[in-house]
Structure 1
């Protein structure tokens, strides 16, 4: 399992992410230390980047937004997101760059 992905006891997982807001387009770019790096087209203003992150991850994972929760890093580039999906599915959908 990837360093940026942690399995949870409830069958879900937690993602450790490094976010780069204000990019030209939203995309997964690879690994940044022990985190998955994601570029977001949204600016880091008034929580717009956080909302865009949840929207992007939900679309990429094929899940409703309610299946994702920003656990930490609301005002930081380093974020932890809880996902109500199997770790293997998440790794398969996000791990390929």
Structure 2
């Protein structure tokens, strides 16, 4: 997976508050990488196959890019092997 382009992603910087829980519905093996808001749930599509955590890493990278934070500031709390995932922002809050 190449580095995602910020211009192709929605601005999710409002989620960069310490302790924010981010619920996702993930579609691996998609035609392109994308993030779409669907009510309170974010739908994330990645081109990577879901084996050995590769899709989770791709989702984490895509989400971090859309939020404008480091990948290490996001922690996968639930859904390591499921399509429904819960990431928590553990970095410093933005002012």
Instruction: Give me the TM-score of the superposition, normalised by structure 1.
Output: 0.69
Report the CA distance shift for 1:85/1:39 in structure 2 as closer, same or farther (over 3 A): farther
Q: For structure 2, which runs of at least 5 residues remain unmatched after alignment? A: 1-14
Partner of 2:4: none
Q: Contact 1:12–1:85 (CA<8 Å) still a contact in 2?
A: no
1:69 Cα offset (Å): 0.4
Residue in structure 2 matching 1:60, options 47, 63, 66: 66
SS, match of residue 50 in structure 1: helix
RMSD of aligned residue pairs (Cα, Å): 2.4
Partner of 2:75: 69
State the aligned residue count. 79
Residue in structure 1 matching 2:28, options 9, 18, 21: 21
Instruction: Give me the TM-score of the superposition, normalised by structure 2.
Output: 0.71
1:80 Cα offset (Å): 0.1
1:85 Cα offset (Å): 6.0
Q: Flag the structure with higher strand content.
A: 1
